[in-house]
Structure 1
Amino acid sequence: MASLNVYSALVVLFLTCGATLATKENDQIIIETNCETKMGLPCVLEAFTSIFETGSISNKCCDELVGLGKFCHSALVKRTLENPLFEDLTPATIIAKSIQTWNNFLALIDSPSPSA
């Protein structure tokens, strides 16, 4: 339960405080496309955990993440990496995991669902 609170705090920080630390390019993308309002907090938590820790993401949240759009997804991940709280993370690894996660979600959405 404590780890959920830590993740919640990180996600809130990710969504609110990161703007002052982000590059203008990432900020511009996030602001112009309203990236921070396109996903519900439970799905933001799932996506964050999936990319920055070890976790999985539900089909519902997969749909929300893809609905967010690749530009928003990439900009939010890059902005998070610019935050000093995440300076211990290896950006190349996180970006690769982010791309892999994105591609996996696209494959899930594009694959036909099994018939009942």
Structure 2
Amino acid sequence: MVSLNVYSILVVLFLTCGTVMATKENDQIIKESNCETKTGLPYVLEAFTSIFITGSILNKCCSELVVLGKVCHSVLVKRTLENPLFKDLNPATIIAKSIKTWNNCLALIDSPSPSA
């Protein structure tokens, strides 16, 4: 269960610590778009884990990610990358994973459900 604790810590950092380090532009976008209140913590955790660790995301979380919106998704990822705790990560790699996650979720949501 250590990994669950690590994920929980990462999400808390994603939602809180980045605020101090975020640029004014990102902060303004996040505030104006209500990015931090549009989806629940379990979905944020799943999306964050997908982008920064595993590369996979549950279908339900994809739905929530799309509801969050591309602007909020992008700005929250960028804000997280500004946090000194993530200084060893390659921003280009994380942004690419972020885009891939977004596109995969969008395709999943836009595609018709298979009939049984």
With structure 1 as the length reference, what TM-score do the two structures score? 0.96
What is the DSSP-based 3-state SS (H/G/I as helix, E as strand, rest coil) of the residue aligned with 2:19? helix
Unaligned runs of at least 5 residues, structure 1: none
| Mapped partners of 1:81, 1:55: distance in 2 | 17
AA matched with 1:19: T
Residue 72 of structure 1 corresponds to: 72
Displaced runs of 4 or more, over 2 A = none
Residue 31 of structure 1 corresponds to: 31
| Mapped partners of 2:73, 2:84: distance in 1 | 20
Residue 10 of structure 2 corresponds to: 10
After TM superposition, the structure 1 = structure 2 runs for residues 1-116 of structure 1, keeping only pairs within 5 Å, are: 1-116=1-116
AA matched with 1:17: C
Q: Is the 8 A contact 1:19 1:79 kept in 2?
A: yes
- Identical pairs, percent: 84
Q: Is the 8 A contact 1:46 1:55 kept in 2?
A: no
| Mapped partners of 1:101, 1:10: distance in 2 | 18
Q: Is the 8 A contact 2:55 2:101 kept in 1?
A: no
RMSD: 0.9
Deviation, structure 1 residue 54: 1.2
Unaligned runs of at least 5 residues, structure 2: none
Corresponding residue pairs, total: 116
Deviation, structure 1 residue 37: 0.9
What is the DSSP-based 3-state SS (H/G/I as helix, E as strand, rest coil) of the residue aligned with 2:77? helix
Deviation, structure 1 residue 55: 4.2
